[in-house]
Amino acid sequence: MNFAASPVLALTLPTWRSRLLLYVFIACFAVLLGRAVYLQGLNNDFLQAKGESRYSRVIEIPANRGRILDRNGEALAISTPVKSIWAIPGEVRPSERQLARLGALLEMSPREIENRLAETGRDFVFLKRQIPPEVAERVAALHIPGLFQNREYRRYYPSGEVAAHVLGFTGVDDIGQEGVELAFQDGLAGKPGSRRVIKDRLGQTVEDVESIKAAQDGHDLALALDARIQNLAFSQLKAAVAQHRAKAGGVVVVDVDTGELLALANFPTYNPNNRHKLAGAQLRNRALTDTFEPGSTLKPFTVALALEGGRVRPDSVIQIAPGSLSIGASTIHDAHFERSLTVAQIIQKSSNVGAAKIALALSAESMWEMFRDVGFGAAPGLGFPGEAAGKLRPYRNWRPIEQATMSYGHGISVSLVQLARAYSVFARDGELIPLSMLRVDMPPPARRVMARRTAGAVRAMLEMAVNRGGTAPRAQIMGYRVAGKTGTAHKQENGVYAADKYVSSFVGFAPASHPRLVIAVMIDEPSAGRYYGGTVAAPVFAQVMAGALRVLDVPPDGPMQPIELPPEGEEVKESV
């Protein structure tokens, strides 16, 4: 056809152009094909990884928090399921009616809800957390789009204020904030599991890809606490603080055999289930975190040290007359005048002059060592947040007057738990055992800090202090022999001893023949007239000890006859 020169034929369309164009198209489609191979066959790993990062999310599966139990398995802290209501702000458009009903259910004003929902820049806003499941169901029944619910747990403490300081509490995120909940957070919390899911752009899960890790529920925690004894200790303490119009108080009960803390009560306290309007004073676990100058309760340690060194024997006579002792510019007084006292009587009647005289015969270093050996000046190591170490100054700086006052518990500060622990040395024939907040099945090894004989001798003196002629007849219990020591100390305010502010205490153990429990009681600033440890703290000790021994079924070792108390005001007054 090409050789035809006819002008008509020349008008026909050039076929080569058509073919060329077609080839161009085929080439183009081939490029697409190649690109598809590249995208889908070769580079897909990269693209998939990019995709994952956009819509695959790892969501957490919460682990159940372990319960906190007392030593007998009674629940002290449990997790109950609750719901949280959250919203995607841009997507919630409730009607007036819905808004009003939602507000009523969540106990929020409609305006408050609207303010939350106005944060349209965010994809996630909590409206209310930790609401009861039945309320959450009624919220769900409103069928408001864009409103979602999360399952959460809320801690509930059946014993309420009784053991609040020991248990502590968890925050809204179920993380321990105080007490055992904080100290043993890791074990209680367990390990949350996780799953990988694919979410659409609105955040709804569309596909479960894989379970990465199963949730590991937290372990239940068995405390050393005995709920019955704790209840008893708390109720007696509460009554005593009220009766003596005291500022605060604490009771600590320690198992002599195992070092377990069977009870630890503080007042003032709080209800961990309703923590609105909490004051710092209510929150403090005073028995563990606060220290005080113990007063006469330290005299037995001074005497024990003197007995250890063979400087005195229990029946050695010490001259007390004229009833005061001047060291430098300071003078130490006794509350009642005695010409002379035996070492045992110094404990029984709590003579400051006697204790100071004994102390001045001892070296500062040995006294310091004794105090250190029974656990003063160092945190007791319960693993509890904020345990106080107390104040035990280095012996090199002690002046003679300081060494003298320290012998009867001034110029040194201890916590109530430290005091209870130190007394377990007398109860355990001279051994110091580590304390434990948790139930102990095998008692840990104890450390000997004084001779068996010494401990036995001091025990006998402490028994005298409780009996007729001692400072604490009100610590007696029917059917059991009791040993213990009172303490009454002026409180320091701004570095000066206040004339009318006292800390009254009593530490003791029973049965004296084979001690089972050490109980320490402290009442801070009793202001109803009485302030002696023997009248304020000792009765609390007696009540708690009697109840606890009964609870533990401890066989009696004393006469089963009513206790005769001296008439009010005629007991032996302690030297303050």
Partner 1 sequence: MLWAALLLLTFGMVMVYSSSIAMAEASKFTRGSPAYFLQRHALFLAASLFAGMLAFQVPVRLWQQAAPWLFVLGVALLALLLAPGLGREVNGARRWLSLGLVNLQPSEFMKLFVVLYAADYTVRKLALMHSFKRGLLPMFAVMLVVGWLLLREPDFGAFVVITAITTGILFLGGMNGKWFGGLLVMMAAGFVGLVLSSPYRMQRIFGFMDPWSDPFGRGYQLSHALIAFGRGEWFGVGLGASVEKLLYLPEAHTDFLLAVIGEELGFVGVIAVIALFSWLVLRAFAIGRQAVALERPYPALVAQGIGVWFGVQSFINMGVNMGVLPTKGLTLPFMSFGGSGLLANCLALAVLMRIDWENRQLMRGVRA
- Known catalytic residues? 296
Question: Which of 121, 134, 143, 201 touches partner 1 (CB under 8 A)?
Answer: 201
Between the two ends of the chain, the Cα-to-Cα distance in Å is 136
| Residue 423 · residue 487 · CB < 8 Å | no
Number of residues that bind partner 1 (CB under 8 A): 38
Interacting stretch for partner 1, rule CB under 8 A, among 116-124, 178-186, 194-202, 448-456?
A: 194-202
> Shortest CA distance to 318 belongs to which of 295, 339, 349?
339
CB of 139 to partner 1, least distance (A): 22
| Residue 353 · residue 343 · CB < 8 Å | no
| Residue 442 · residue 542 · CB < 8 Å | no
If the CB atoms of residues 77 and 87 are measured against partner 1, the closer one turns out to be: 87
Question: Which of 4, 47, 61, 361 touches partner 1 (CB under 8 A)?
Answer: 47
CB of 18 to partner 1, least distance (A): 6
Question: Which of 2, 5, 17, 499 touches partner 1 (CB under 8 A)?
Answer: 17
If the CB atoms of residues 25 and 124 are measured against partner 1, the closer one turns out to be: 25
Q: What whole-number distance in Å separates Cα of residue 222 and Cα of residue 289?
A: 22
CB of 42 to partner 1, least distance (A): 10
Q: What whole-number distance in Å separates Cα of residue 56 and Cα of residue 124?
A: 18
If the CB atoms of residues 35 and 333 are measured against partner 1, the closer one turns out to be: 35
CB of 228 to partner 1, least distance (A): 59
If the CB atoms of residues 24 and 214 are measured against partner 1, the closer one turns out to be: 24
CB of 210 to partner 1, least distance (A): 15
Name residues contacting partner 1, limited to 84-103 (CB under 8 A): none
CB of 211 to partner 1, least distance (A): 19
- Please compute, for residue 230, the number of CA atoms within 13 A of its CA located in the half-sphere on the CB side: 28
Name residues contacting partner 1, limited to 26-45 (CB under 8 A): 26, 28-29, 31-33, 35-37, 39-41, 43-45
Decide: is 4 part of the binding site for partner 1 (CB under 8 A).
Answer: no
Q: What whole-number distance in Å separates Cα of residue 375 and Cα of residue 92?
A: 61
Q: What whole-number distance in Å separates Cα of residue 52 and Cα of residue 58?
A: 10
Name residues contacting partner 1, limited to 203-262 (CB under 8 A): 206-207
Interacting stretch for partner 1, rule CB under 8 A, among 19-27, 239-247, 459-467, 540-548?
A: 19-27
CB of 27 to partner 1, least distance (A): 10
In SS3 terms, 77-122 reads as EEEEEEEEEEECHHHCCCCHHHHHHHHHHHCCCHHHHHHHHCCCCC
Decide: is 50 part of the binding site for partner 1 (CB under 8 A).
Answer: yes
If the CB atoms of residues 137 and 207 are measured against partner 1, the closer one turns out to be: 207
CB of 52 to partner 1, least distance (A): 9
> Shortest CA distance to 240 belongs to which of 551, 490, 543, 508?
543
Question: Which of 3, 6, 13, 496 touches partner 1 (CB under 8 A)?
Answer: 13
Interacting stretch for partner 1, rule CB under 8 A, among 49-57, 241-249, 454-462, 484-492?
A: 49-57
> Shortest CA distance to 534 belongs to which of 469, 481, 488?
488
For residue 366, the Cα-to-chain-centroid distance in whole angstroms is 34
Question: Which of 4, 12, 107, 205 touches partner 1 (CB under 8 A)?
Answer: 12
Amino acid in the structure at residue 470:
G
Interacting stretch for partner 1, rule CB under 8 A, among 14-22, 161-169, 391-399, 516-524?
A: 14-22
Task: Give the 3-state secondary structure percentages of the chain, helix then strand then coil, rounded to 5.
Answer: 40, 25, 40
Enter the DSSP assignment of 41.
I
Contacts of 151 (CB under 8 A, 6+ apart): 62, 81, 83
Question: Which of 61, 104, 118, 202 touches partner 1 (CB under 8 A)?
Answer: 202
- What are the angstrom distances between the C-alpha of 357 and each of 45, 67, 171, 310, 330? 87, 53, 53, 15, 14
Amino acid in the structure at residue 544:
V
Question: Which of 2, 5, 6, 21 touches partner 1 (CB under 8 A)?
Answer: 21
If the CB atoms of residues 52 and 119 are measured against partner 1, the closer one turns out to be: 52
> Shortest CA distance to 296 belongs to which of 375, 352, 254, 374?
352
Name residues contacting partner 1, limited to 365-394 (CB under 8 A): none
> Shortest CA distance to 138 belongs to which of 114, 167, 104, 89?
104
Strand partners, 520: 252, 507
If the CB atoms of residues 35 and 391 are measured against partner 1, the closer one turns out to be: 35
| Residue 513 · residue 459 · CB < 8 Å | no
How many residues can be counted in the chain?
576
CB of 286 to partner 1, least distance (A): 55
CB of 91 to partner 1, least distance (A): 10
Interacting stretch for partner 1, rule CB under 8 A, among 51-59, 120-128, 456-464, 492-500?
A: 51-59
> Shortest CA distance to 416 belongs to which of 333, 280, 518, 490?
518
If the CB atoms of residues 186 and 208 are measured against partner 1, the closer one turns out to be: 208
Interacting stretch for partner 1, rule CB under 8 A, among 5-13, 180-188, 309-317, 432-440?
A: 5-13
Question: Which of 2, 5, 6, 18 touches partner 1 (CB under 8 A)?
Answer: 18
Q: What whole-number distance in Å separates Cα of residue 288 and Cα of residue 394?
A: 22
CB of 57 to partner 1, least distance (A): 12
In SS3 terms, 332-351 reads as EECCCCCCEEEHHHHHHHCC
If the CB atoms of residues 51 and 444 are measured against partner 1, the closer one turns out to be: 51
Question: Which of 11, 279, 329, 560 touches partner 1 (CB under 8 A)?
Answer: 11
Binding site for partner 1 (CB under 8 A): 11-15, 17-18, 21-22, 25-26, 28-29, 31-33, 35-37, 39-41, 43-48, 50-51, 54-55, 198, 200-202, 206-207
